Chain A
Amino acid sequence: NAGVTQTPKFQVLKTGQSMTLQCAQDMNHEYMSWYRQDPGMGLRLIHYSVGAGITDQGEVPNGYNVSRSTTEDFPLRLLSAAPSQTSVYFCASKRQGGNTIYFGEGSWLTVV
């Protein structure tokens, strides 16, 4: 049962570098999303997608890009990493019509 798979699990970046956090789900879910988790705060929505070719912004989209070329994959791109983007990132998905969201195990990102 793979579910929602995120890679990498841990990453250290230098300020200004770019990288992509990968997310894949094998449940044929239409809806996928990215959240970030910061100390003392709940998760906050970065971007989401309701299907291939469709993306939209969440609560904290600045500094991040996404695309959804397939149902399975929803990568999150940091074009020029900043220390403020040090966080734990969670990818999540759900099926259309459902109301339960399934989360990946998280990606720990440190920007120095």
Chain B
Amino acid sequence: GNSVTQMEGPVTLSEEAFLTINCTYTATGYPSLFWYVQYPGEGLQLLLKATKADDKGSNKGFEATYRKETTSFHLEKGSVQVSDSAVYFCALGKGVQGAQKLVFGQGTRLTINP
């Protein structure tokens, strides 16, 4: 079946450090890949997405590239800020007759210290 594996957290970095959160997936066919972010006490917000191999999603300085050969979608940011502290979820989505079933990784809690 479909599954998503993220690097375990928590991850603690200093402000302006480089960030990588690893995400690998197992899926049949060609899923879409997503990164969602959840700030404390809030719901999930879409951070970025990629719908086909070699696509790069980007938003707010974050990037992730859909790598079919390594089945990965690692999240990166060159210089993190305190405001990036949140839980990050990698997910894959399979569209089936109008539905979009998301399969999530377990989430990675990120804390950025000033």
Contact = CB atoms under 8 A, between A and B. Distances in A.
Interface of A: 30-31, 33, 35, 40-45, 48, 50-51, 56, 58, 90, 92, 94, 96, 99-106
B69 to A, nearest CB: 22
Interface stretch (B14-22, B42-50, B77-85): B42-50
6 contacts: A45-B102, A50-B98, A90-B44, A99-B49, A99-B100, A102-B46
Interface in B55-114: 89, 91, 93, 95, 97-107
A104 B13 CA distance: 29
Prevailing SS type, chain B contact patch: strand
Prevailing SS type, chain A contact patch: strand
Contacts of B101: 33, 45, 48, 58
Contacts of A44: 104
Contacts of B43: 90, 103-106
Nearest to A100: B46
Nearest to B102: A101
Q: How large is the interface on B (under 10, 10 to 19, 20 to 34, 35 or more residues)?
A: 20 to 34
Contacts of B107: 40-42
A58 B94 CA distance: 13
Contacts of B51: 99
Contact of A43 (B46, B49, B89, B99): B89
B102 A100 contact: no
Q: Specify which of B36, B46, B102 lies most central, judged by the most chain A CB atoms within 10 Å of its CB.
A: B102
A69 B105 CA distance: 32
A43 B97 contact: no
